[in-house]
Amino acid sequence: MNILLIYPKFPDTFWSFTYALSFIGKKSAFPPLGLLTVASLLPADWSRRLVDVNVESLTDKDLMWADMAFIGGMAVQRESAEKIIARCNALNLKVVAGGPLFTSEPDEFPEVDHLVLDEAERTLPDFLADWKTGALKKRYRASAFCDLGDTPAPAWELVNMKRYASMNIQFSRGCPFNCEFCNVTALFGHRPRIKTPKQVIAELDRIYASGWRGSIFFVDDNFIGNRGYLKTHLLPALIEWRKHKKGCVFFTEASINLADDPELMEFMVMAGFDSVFIGIESPDELSLTECHKTQNKNRDLLESVKIIHHSGLQVMGGFIVGFDSDTPSIFQRQIDFIQKSGIVTAMVGMLQAPPGTRLFDRLQRESRVADTFSGDNVNGTTNIIPRMGIDKLLSGYQSIMKQIYSPENYYRRVITLLKELKASEIRQPVNIQRFLSFFRSAIRLGILGKERLHYWHLMLWTITRKPRLMSVAITLSIYGYHYRRICERYIY
């Protein structure tokens, strides 16, 4: 049996890093971890190939080789997924689909032959059992969540790691919180389920043995969902693993209550983490109450961000405008907060309602779901009818993006961050691409770019004030170029 695993293309978004990847000679930010895990769940005697459309072309020859095509992806990959399915249909190639896109909206894909939904550890065995008997069904669903202790290591042999900017790994699924707009709990539940340290270390050993020394993304939606286990089991294991190794800096996603646990932050830095993405959402208490973001309430959010920066962890932040309680003043308040916080990577989006969330159900009852969920909350669109009106919301959103990603304000935030950020003791080794990235940035940003004065001011400031953070300054300058290109293309 020949199985072709196909990963659809991401459009150009903030998180695609399309315009930044060329500085370091890479094709895509991350490999398709979900499909690589699915590949490991398939029978050992089946032939498997992976085509990640983000790094290579999908040819008719690839499709004609296969007996079945397995497609997985997220909502933001919908357009590419639909085109791939159509190509498979035209060649009479059976399509098996799963992942968040198909799990959240299974009725939208009648062209798919078999929908293996929810967690593949639960539903793929049923599909394989029915395949043996020749009685395959259209749809496979799980009645419970899987035990991650049974999850196999990804089939890393199917990818060329050199094409990617970062590797990825998963420790846990699920989140203890219940934000109204978030589909994580709908997909993975409230109770964080975890892999053992032995599993995580085995996966890291495999990645390290391949020669990888770059960054590694722990893709958990809330890495600190089980703080006690982290401090007593996983982080000590990661600290031990790191001894006598070079590079492999980690980053992840967490909730703002990370700031309340100095010991946890210290352990994470010792283990090799240097940044975390945190959903700030809004500086407005009414908006936080509305979306049930309880972990962000009744605290000084600016102070919490500063505490995390001082620990050595850079905060990347998510922000949302368009809550029912938002007034026109929210746009300037968001700008002020982002600038004061020193959050350089500020992902600001208009509120969207993913299918399966409590927000989607509520707005659907109010007849306020107006369009298909795009999965991209920074492209200047929304699938809901906002209370303040779409024109006012869009205008305010555009004003935020124009200001925070103007060269002046962006580079000012970089300096604010560098002033607060403790330099990490763990660094990525300098390879030829990282070495060349400085010269590429110097030419594209420092000579040709409209931000050249701000760029050289940052370089001079960093080399004289925070020389150990020079690589961070260069990286963030390159990110800024990407963010501005995205804004110019989709938002301004």
> What pLDDT was estimated at residue 434?
76
Q: What is the mean pLDDT of the chain?
A: 96
Is 49's pLDDT higher than 90? yes
Q: What are the tens digits of pLDDT across the range 267-287?
A: 999 999 999 999 999 999 999
The pTM of the full predicted model, rounded to 2 decimals, is 0.96
Contact 311, 317 (CB under 8 A): no
Is 463's pLDDT higher than 90? yes
Is 492's pLDDT higher than 80? no
Compare 448 and 434 and report the one with higher pLDDT.
Answer: 448
* CATH topology for the 2-140 domain: Rossmann fold (3.40.50)
Domain range summary for the chain, segments of one domain joined by +: 2-140, 165-420, 432-490
> What pLDDT was estimated at residue 119?
98
Work out the angle at residue 273's Cα, subtended by the Cα atoms of residues 271 and 276, and round it to the nearest 5 degrees. Answer: 145
Is 429's pLDDT higher than 80? no
> What pLDDT was estimated at residue 149?
95
Is 15's pLDDT higher than 90? no
Which whole number is the average pLDDT over 204-217?
97
Is 81's pLDDT higher than 80? yes
Which whole number is the average pLDDT over 107-121?
98
Which whole number is the average pLDDT over 349-370?
96
Q: What are the tens digits of pLDDT across the range 299-352?
A: 999 999 999 999 999 999 999 999 999 999 999 999 999 999 999 999 999 999
Pick the CATH number of 165-420 from 3.80.30.20, 1.10.287.3510, 3.40.980.10, 3.90.79.10: 3.80.30.20
